[in-house]
Chains A and B, each alone.
Chain A
């Protein structure tokens, strides 16, 4: 057996962390909307401007508002041990700042390339991980039946490339559906299929026979079978091309990618950006662990440190490649959290801050942080929403040249926030 000499493929899969399984469980394709589970939305012709890439970073588990600390007295009072003031955070203005881990992101803000949007959520924001993640991934709106996830609807419009969307955090509702769904990978470094008897001739015949037997299958085409088959076909086509395109070394940057799971995923994202031949337009990254019911301050220091390390090197690489103006990076988290619960943690809440970065982003604090009065009047969490998250992503995809009406149906009435220059 060659086990010992092989790399542990758990690493290959490990980025599929909390949120992936969480996000995917009870999927609407199973039960709720089975009929439309794998259908196809309308496909537009190739219409997007070449090059621009949208990177969505999911802070899975529900990230609290302390990612962008609020300085109001009410907030400090209600979060006695976990909130921060200007003295121990990176102030953006008189009422709000960034967590101290985000030194490089503060620099990006100072360069005018980071926008902070407060009070982001959606109508009927669920406080269940599963439901809320599904709401954010599918972005259907009330009673909507749009097919699959919004990323799949986006890449359906970028039909020219098989790799227009890549998830570096496995499969989930966000990327399922449509005519050209994003490919689900985990780790480019360990990407590949083993050989039969460690011999190329044997392997080639084996694989060709397998693919031929698969192609001639006449088994009943259930939705599940179609999904499995398409996964198999996709991985087949993706394997060689991606490997070849992403094997080139990245340019040197001031701060090397740290050795964390999230940073490795960021490095893979950088490789995808550095391979324009792949035509990647959407990348999904995920960092789990934000379900901080207790001991939030330590968890945040650790999580934000890793998040910052990965994003810093990714942005530096994009700049070194001369592609920073083509890249937008947006965060998401299925919900925000309550005020401190007495265990140094927070429970499930609603509206949240969202960060958008990019060379073309009109950086600023877009709307004010929740006011002192609002915080005082609130129950244990900030309910409702000030900005529908789809409004933000809608502007980003419009900027990229996509038809946002097809990606975010029933959202046409939003007035622009002016997030891009």
Chain B
């Protein structure tokens, strides 16, 4: 067989010696150098990470006139870069990168220098990231910060609320917001609207409404379901305790949700009971008691999630599943491992069993005929008698006999606090929540025995909420858009208007389409952009200053233009009220809008404006903020225009 060596002529003796030496050297080299190098290559260390364990920071470096912006990942307090591999995410720390470059003798390369600068600039933020820290915020608490606080935790603040917050400071504002005080005025209005959907008198001018009826206080089903819904929208908009209403909305409409329309007229009392449970949870912050109450709640557990047809001998898993998935532990822990198995759900369903619905006719004072009532009743025969085991095979395994046992075992499970903390973080701090932050918040929740108010106070006063990196990172719910708009502008809307426009935005409180409640990202999609624009235009088109003043005591001119300001001052005032930051270019574009009118060029315009007849041109119509001026033509559109900007969707 011929080989490549066949073509090589035989070497001479000297050359042969050199060849021999070369071969020996090569062998030595092969033995020493490559073995080590290959071994290293084979054992290349890859740090696999989970998304929940990392967070990202932005680093800006100046290089001459250039500004270099880089996004870095932090893992175990070290800055680095993340890459996707077939097996998942790999983390490569800047430290390691520098080390490798040093080993390769590249200390003088541009890449080495840049990496070293990045490391220096990012080390502190990775070790102690303020935007993820629940440590106490000690920076300035001015108008900007007060607006963040109110937008995130209280549907947005009125100018008076913002002024007061700045005056009394962060700690006092948080205490005020999170300390529940009964409000007889709003409670009476809520009861009035709940009864028949109408207020007895116009709250702004005191005129009676002849559609108003009264309800029988002895008859628990004597109210309107849509009245209850409208009353809650009203309370969210006009209550002096907006934090508790925001918390109500979070508990009900964003976590474990129920649609009020599921009940029949003989069980309407269940709606009021349910709202009472959520109210109590929001006002006391006692989450464990909340879940205990829901465990046997007619509306949520028994009707909506089928608990009343869950028999020990014929189980229905619906409530058992959602109790964990949406109410407590969540389906997986922070590392992505499942918290419970399907077998656990089947076991828990047995423990939850035993409830059913009973119907009977009752005599009610004040009612001529007997009234039918459907109510929940525990029937021991329907309850699974033996013990069952949940969280089997885990350190949290528990033997349970009934729903209360399931509750206790669930609240001993670390995932319950972590799931709550994760949800709080998503809704109130930032959309992506690394484990470092979640675990810290979960610790507070556990320490406070699942009372959420201390945890909320901590969040509201934390660096994380006011950090630049987290600003404009959360998308407002449609409810927050509309109610915030009313609170910020002071334009009073009636009960029906609120309900109508929330319906247009497809988000009437207590009316979610599924047990998962709402999702603000979905509700910021394209069709909803259009819906919000049309609601804003409805308000702008439909509510003239005259009618607002006459029927609702709302003086638009006094609110924005009392000192007869220029267009620019008016623009800044409206933008500030809506908490929309404007840059110079945007202010100029708006000033042009305020001082000009786009119209079709007519013959009489041609000489003065040099326009071509029939074409659109800008005719100067100076904004006149005096009461007798043209201010209304532009002020209302200005408010609408700003409310349509993407900045207004963010908080």
The reply to whether chain A is a binding partner of chain B is: yes
- A-to-B contact residues, CB < 8 Å: 1-3, 8-10, 12-14, 16-22, 24-27, 29-35, 37, 126-131, 143, 145, 170-172, 183-186, 191-198, 201-202, 204-206, 208-210, 212-214, 216-220, 222-225, 227-229, 231-232, 234-235, 238-239, 288, 293-294, 341-343, 345, 347-348, 380
CB distance from A10 to the nearest CB of B (A): 5
**Judging by beta carbons under 8 Å apart, are B537 and A195 in contact?**
yes
CA distance A130 to B515 in the complex (A): 10
Residues of A within 8 A of B360 (CB): none
CB pairs A–B below 8 angstroms (21 shown): A16-B513, A19-B514, A33-B51, A35-B73, A35-B82, A37-B431, A145-B89, A170-B527, A191-B530, A206-B593, A209-B593, A210-B645, A213-B589, A216-B589, A220-B471, A220-B472, A222-B650, A227-B524, A231-B528, A293-B309, A345-B309
**Judging by beta carbons under 8 Å apart, are A2 and B542 in contact?**
yes
Residues of A within 8 A of B537 (CB): 193-196
Of B52, B73, B306, the most chain A CB neighbours within 10 A belong to: B306
User: Do A229 and B646 contact each other (CB < 8 Å), given the known contacts A209-B590, A294-B309?
Assistant: yes
Asked if B541 is an interface residue, CB under 8 A from chain A, the answer is yes
CA distance A206 to B515 in the complex (A): 40
CA distance A171 to B478 in the complex (A): 15
User: Do A225 and B517 contact each other (CB < 8 Å), given the known contacts A31-B422, A238-B526?
Assistant: no
The B contact surface, by secondary structure, is: mixed
8 Å CB contact of A224 from B87, B346, B475, B531:
B475
CA distance A222 to B467 in the complex (A): 13
Asked if B63 is an interface residue, CB under 8 A from chain A, the answer is no
Residues of A within 8 A of B473 (CB): 222-225
CA distance A234 to B646 in the complex (A): 13
Asked if B266 is an interface residue, CB under 8 A from chain A, the answer is no
User: Do A210 and B342 contact each other (CB < 8 Å), given the known contacts A30-B432, A126-B331, A172-B522?
Assistant: no
11 additional A-B pairs beyond A13-B504, A29-B431, beta carbons within 8 Å, are A2-B541, A10-B503, A19-B514, A22-B516, A24-B519, A31-B433, A35-B56, A184-B526, A220-B471, A222-B650, A347-B317
8 Å CB contact of B522 from A3, A20, A225:
A20
**Judging by beta carbons under 8 Å apart, are A18 and B514 in contact?**
yes
**Judging by beta carbons under 8 Å apart, are A194 and B541 in contact?**
yes
CB distance from A219 to the nearest CB of B (A): 5
Residues of A within 8 A of B471 (CB): 220
CA distance A380 to B529 in the complex (A): 44
CB distance from A224 to the nearest CB of B (A): 5
Residues of B within 8 A of A345 (CB): 306, 309, 316
User: Do A288 and B513 contact each other (CB < 8 Å), given the known contacts A3-B538, A198-B541?
Assistant: yes
User: Do A196 and B645 contact each other (CB < 8 Å), given the known contacts A21-B522, A228-B475?
Assistant: no
Fill in one digit per residue for B314-338: 1 if any A CB lies within 8 Å of its CB, else 0: 1111100100010000010000100
Residues of B within 8 A of A341 (CB): 314-317
Residues of B within 8 A of A3 (CB): 500, 538, 542
8 Å CB contact of B650 from A35, A208, A225:
A225
- B304's nearest neighbour on chain A, judged by CB, is A293
**Judging by beta carbons under 8 Å apart, are B521 and A131 in contact?**
no
CA distance A229 to B475 in the complex (A): 11
**Judging by beta carbons under 8 Å apart, are B641 and A24 in contact?**
no
Stretch with Cβ within 8 A of A (4 or more), from B27-35, B552-560, B578-586: B578-586
Stretch with Cβ within 8 A of A (4 or more), from B100-108, B196-204, B594-602: B594-602
**Judging by beta carbons under 8 Å apart, are B51 and A22 in contact?**
no
**Judging by beta carbons under 8 Å apart, are B616 and A204 in contact?**
yes
User: Do A209 and B318 contact each other (CB < 8 Å), given the known contacts A18-B513, A185-B527, A225-B472?
Assistant: no
**Judging by beta carbons under 8 Å apart, are A209 and B528 in contact?**
no
- B324's nearest neighbour on chain A, judged by CB, is A128
8 Å CB contact of B598 from A20, A31, A205:
A205
**Judging by beta carbons under 8 Å apart, are A16 and B647 in contact?**
no
Asked if B649 is an interface residue, CB under 8 A from chain A, the answer is yes
CA distance A334 to B521 in the complex (A): 20
**Judging by beta carbons under 8 Å apart, are B51 and A12 in contact?**
no
With an 8 Å Cβ cutoff, the count of chain B residues facing the other chain is 92
**Judging by beta carbons under 8 Å apart, are B646 and A228 in contact?**
yes
**Judging by beta carbons under 8 Å apart, are B650 and A193 in contact?**
no
Residues of B within 8 A of A212 (CB): 589
**Judging by beta carbons under 8 Å apart, are A128 and B529 in contact?**
no
Residues of A within 8 A of B538 (CB): 1-3, 194
**Judging by beta carbons under 8 Å apart, are A13 and B527 in contact?**
yes
**Judging by beta carbons under 8 Å apart, are B641 and A206 in contact?**
yes
Residues of A within 8 A of B533 (CB): 193-194
CA distance A317 to B331 in the complex (A): 43
**Judging by beta carbons under 8 Å apart, are B531 and A13 in contact?**
yes
**Judging by beta carbons under 8 Å apart, are A204 and B598 in contact?**
yes
**Judging by beta carbons under 8 Å apart, are A201 and B598 in contact?**
yes
Asked if B392 is an interface residue, CB under 8 A from chain A, the answer is no
- B473's nearest neighbour on chain A, judged by CB, is A222
8 Å CB contact of B637 from A172, A196, A228:
A196
Residues of A within 8 A of B82 (CB): 35
- A197's nearest neighbour on chain B, judged by CB, is B541
**Judging by beta carbons under 8 Å apart, are B522 and A216 in contact?**
no
9 nearest A-B pairs in the assembled complex, by CB-CB distance: A34-B432, A171-B525, A342-B314, A24-B522, A205-B598, A25-B516, A343-B309, A1-B542, A13-B506
8 Å CB contact of A32 from B51, B527, B583, B640:
B51
Asked if B298 is an interface residue, CB under 8 A from chain A, the answer is no
Residues of B within 8 A of A217 (CB): 583, 586, 645-647
CB distance from B631 to the nearest CB of A (A): 15
Asked if B116 is an interface residue, CB under 8 A from chain A, the answer is no
**Judging by beta carbons under 8 Å apart, are A206 and B426 in contact?**
no
CA distance A214 to B643 in the complex (A): 11
CA distance A66 to B84 in the complex (A): 42
User: Do A219 and B529 contact each other (CB < 8 Å), given the known contacts A9-B534, A145-B89, A229-B646?
Assistant: no
- B522's nearest neighbour on chain A, judged by CB, is A24
User: Do A26 and B521 contact each other (CB < 8 Å), given the known contacts A3-B542, A205-B598?
Assistant: no
8 Å CB contact of A20 from B87, B513, B540:
B513
CA distance A347 to B320 in the complex (A): 11
User: Do A348 and B317 contact each other (CB < 8 Å), given the known contacts A17-B513, A204-B616, A235-B530?
Assistant: yes
**Judging by beta carbons under 8 Å apart, are B525 and A21 in contact?**
no
CA distance A18 to B519 in the complex (A): 12
B residues 440-465 touching A (CB-CB < 8 Å): none
**Judging by beta carbons under 8 Å apart, are B426 and A205 in contact?**
no
CA distance A41 to B84 in the complex (A): 13
CA distance A334 to B316 in the complex (A): 19
User: Do A224 and B431 contact each other (CB < 8 Å), given the known contacts A183-B526, A209-B589, A212-B589?
Assistant: yes
**Judging by beta carbons under 8 Å apart, are A128 and B504 in contact?**
no
- B641's nearest neighbour on chain A, judged by CB, is A210
CA distance A22 to B325 in the complex (A): 13
CA distance A108 to B473 in the complex (A): 49
Residues of A within 8 A of B472 (CB): 219-220, 222, 224-225
CA distance A23 to B471 in the complex (A): 27
CA distance A257 to B327 in the complex (A): 41
Residues of A within 8 A of B305 (CB): 293
- A229's nearest neighbour on chain B, judged by CB, is B646
- B89's nearest neighbour on chain A, judged by CB, is A145
**Judging by beta carbons under 8 Å apart, are A9 and B645 in contact?**
no
Residues of B within 8 A of A228 (CB): 475, 524, 529, 646, 649-650
Residues of A within 8 A of B73 (CB): 35
- A175's nearest neighbour on chain B, judged by CB, is B525
CA distance A198 to B516 in the complex (A): 39
8 Å CB contact of A16 from B89, B432, B506, B640:
B506
Residues of A within 8 A of B585 (CB): 216
Asked if B205 is an interface residue, CB under 8 A from chain A, the answer is no
Residues of A within 8 A of B474 (CB): 224
8 Å CB contact of B521 from A10, A12, A171:
A171
CA distance A17 to B600 in the complex (A): 44
- B500's nearest neighbour on chain A, judged by CB, is A3
